[in-house]
Amino acid sequence: MKKNYTLIVAAMSVALGISAQQLPNAGFEEGWVDCVPWTSGGNKTKYELTPNNWTIAHVIGVLNIGKTKVGENVAGYNSSSAILVKNAPNSVVASQTVPGYFTLGTPWNTAQGTTNPTNKDGGTFGGIDFKYKPDAVSFWYKRTHGTANVEEKAQIIAYLWSGTYTQKDVPGNIGLSASNIKKVEMTDRDRNILDMATGQGGEVTQKGTLVAKINYDITGDAADWTELTVPFEYMAGVNASPEKINVIFSAGDYFSTTPGVDNTLTVDSVQLVYYSRLSALKFKDVAVDGFNESKYEYNIDAWMPESADDIAYTVKGQSATASVALDKANRTATVTVVNVDSDIDGKNTHTYTLKFYGEAGVLPASTSYSGSITINGMAVEYPDGPFVHIYNGKGQENAAEFHFYDFSLDGKTVIGSIIIDNVDVAKDIAGNTYLRGAKNGIKFRINKNFVNVDATVNAVVSADKKMDAELTLLIDPVPAARASADATEYSVKFSGEYDTTVGIDQIEQDSVDAPVEVYTVNGIKVNAAEMVPGLYIRRQGNNVSKILVK
């Protein structure tokens, strides 16, 4: 049975038309074939088996003497096939251990002599054509140690490169003496690509460009199947696109010439991972609180942004792209990340959702707040205290009217009322209500002259019915002007609490016999039949209350 992850990737590839290249025969179930170990002498002898597209580093020895098996097909992770590689004793000289590894390239080895060989070297050259930029390699593995070297690490070595590396005079076979060793020009040798010193071989006459690499140590034992994802390290300052890839799994220290005998590594379901996630997310240059690349929903204590430019992000994937969409009706912004192939979860796209101020709500028909006020940082005393009213007589969703009747700059002289309709209203998950709005062209009267006022308001009403409001008033003595040279800006801050004595929609006759008298907040008696919208003091006998006429 195919591995679940492999099935997901295959299904996603068909459904989404994914074009990025995965590794061939990644589950090692697409047939095993005869292995012909490469030597510089041109070996043609078949020895043991290897999976299609991969090569296990079986050794042919000298004239078929000393040939050694270092890998085999075993049951896999929820599948019928996996590769087990083993550091095995040479079939003739048991004191010599042959390293077990498999690769997408071509394994090779060299040594001079038999019982106590010298000039030992080996590794891999070549790989497969490849032009994409994966972010990591994911696989399942098991691991055991023999008794000779219980601390030895296993390794995954992988690298992406462009161009061609060429090294002259590399010995590529085992011989009894120097005269039996044939040297060749080797193309794309692992150590050359990884910029490592070579014990055997001549001048490197041609170099390509290393784009990314993995050199990862697998330590300890793993009796049960264990999943591991190892990221590529992309070379700083290298903008080249890869042309080739090689991947190597080794039962021991791959670059050592003294592997620990009987140490094994079993590998299955090798996949290239293309991250379609974010590594960072900011709103207005501030990191989103609690951000995690695998968390996809966030509540933001702020107003819905007007521009997608307020949302900044960093994509995690080398080939990933992202886009921002604003849904003002639902107060959400989404960042959708897409890559050319599948992430570790089998998906090639992930969406992060930012919710601004949680759910929206419908305010009561009328609520009023009394408290204190400062103007340009100075406290201003009103005879009866300032009052703010939030009106939603039309039952609108997400909207209301902000009323500040009988506004005074000095607390004594009323110059007008601030009424801002279509104020945006939202609630957060804690039950706080936020109001934001603006209105231009409000008329005030100062010293018998009409002036123009542009007003903005930002207010919050807490869950326990306390209000903090900030108003910015631009008062212009030119009635029809918009911020002329003589305009003056005032910063008005109001703090108050819900007031149950305010908010009466209309004057009602009490059942008592005492007459009803109505006064302005400045103490001027008015005719109830001629009242205009505003705040008044109502007295009937000994009962005094505030009323709001709309």
- Reported as a single tens digit per residue, the pLDDT across 174-192 is 998 889 999 999 999 999 9
Is residue 537 included in any domain, yes or no? no
Q: Is the pLDDT of residue 311 over 60?
A: yes
Q: What is the CA radius of gyration of the chain?
A: 39
Whether the predicted pLDDT of 514 surpasses 90: no
Q: What is the CATH number of the domain that holds 30?
A: 2.60.120
pLDDT tens track for 474-500: 998 877 666 677 889 999 999 999 887
- Among candidate residues 334, 356, 378, the one where a domain is terminated: 356
Which two tokens mark 64? 């078929």
- Same domain (yes/no): 269, 297: no
Residue 86 lies in a domain: yes
541 token code pair? 């006998």
- Mean pLDDT (whole number) for 43-49: 96
226 and 98 inside one domain: yes
Is residue 523, in this structure, part of any structural domain at all?
no
Instruction: Check whether 396 has a pLDDT greater than 70.
Output: no
Average pLDDT across the chain, whole number: 88
Average the pLDDT over each of 4-8, 328-332, 524-528 and give the range with the smallest value: 4-8
Using CA atoms, how far residue 516 sits from 192, 206, 251, in Å, is 101, 104, 98
Does residue 511 lie in a domain region?
no
Q: Is residue 2's pLDDT more than 60?
A: no
Q: Which residues contact 133 (CB under 8 A, 6 or more apart)?
A: 160, 211, 212, 234, 241, 242, 318, 319
Mark whether 192 and 155 lie in a shared domain: yes
Q: Are 306 and 417 in the same domain?
A: no
Is there a domain that residue 508 lies in?
A: no
pLDDT tens digit sequence for 69-79 = 999 999 999 99
Question: Do 336 and 482 have their domain in common?
Answer: no
- Maximum Cα–Cα distance across the chain: 131
Residue 482 located in a structural domain: yes
Q: What are the phi and psi torsion angles at 99 (to 5°)?
A: -70, 140
Instruction: Say which DSSP state 77 is in.
Output: T
Say if residue 19's pLDDT is above 60. Answer: no
Name the domain boundary from 337, 356, 375.
356
Name the phi and psi angles at 180, rounded to 5.
Answer: -90, -5
In this structure, the answer to whether residues 262 and 293 fall within a common structural domain is: no
* Domain range enclosing 460: 366-498
Is residue 503 predicted with pLDDT exceeding 70?
no
Q: Which amino acid is at 283?
A: F
DSSP state of 429: T
pLDDT at 454 > cutoff 50: yes
| Percent of the chain residues topping a pLDDT of 70 | 87
Shared domain check, 187 and 285: no
Exposed e or buried b for every residue in 222-254, given b needs 16+ CB within 10 A? beeeeeeebebebeeeeeeebbbbbbbbbbbbb
Rounded Cα distance between 495 and 502, Å, is 16
**Do 306 and 322 fall within a single domain?**
yes
Same domain, 251 and 393: no
Q: CATH number, domain at 378? A: 2.40.160
Residue 536's nearest CA partner among 421, 389, 375 is: 389
**Confidence check: pLDDT of 3 > 80:** no
Tokens at residue 54, please?
């991969």
Domain stop point among 273, 306, 321: 273
pLDDT band of residue 399 (cuts 50, 70, 90) is confident
Question: With bands split at pLDDT 50, 70 and 90, how would you rate the model's confidence at 394?
Answer: low
Residue range 100-139, pLDDT digits in tens:
999 999 999 999 987 888 999 999 999 999 999 999 999 9
**What Cα–Cα distance (Å) separates residue 504 from each residue in 348, 365, 390, 514?**
59, 11, 13, 19
Please report which confidence band the pLDDT of residue 359 belongs to, taking 50, 70 and 90 as the band edges: low
pTM score: 0.73
Residue 406 has pLDDT above 50, yes or no: yes
Confidence tier at 524 by pLDDT (50, 70, 90): low
* Res. 8: pLDDT tops 50: no
Q: How many domains does the chain have?
A: 3
* pLDDT score at 15: 39
**pLDDT for the residue numbered 425:** 86
Q: Of residues 170 and 10, which shows the higher confidence score?
A: 170
Rounded to the nearest 5°, which phi and psi values hold at 329? -60, -35
Write the single-letter amino acid at 270. Answer: V
Same domain, 190 and 255: yes
- Closest by CA to 329, choosing from 360, 352, 298, 284, is 360
- Establish if 477 belongs to a structural domain: yes
32 and 107, same domain (yes or no): yes
Determine the Cα–Cα distance for residues 414 and 27; give it in Å rounded to an integer: 82
Facing residues of 482 across strands?
none
pLDDT of residue 328: 84
- The helix (run of H) or strand (run of E) holding residue 473 is strand 466-476
Is residue 510 a part of any domain in this protein? no
Of 56, 47, 108, the C-alpha closest to 84 is 56
266 and 282 share one domain: no
Q: What does the pLDDT look like over 227-259, one tens digit per residue?
A: 999 999 999 999 999 999 999 999 999 999 899
pLDDT of residue 14: 40
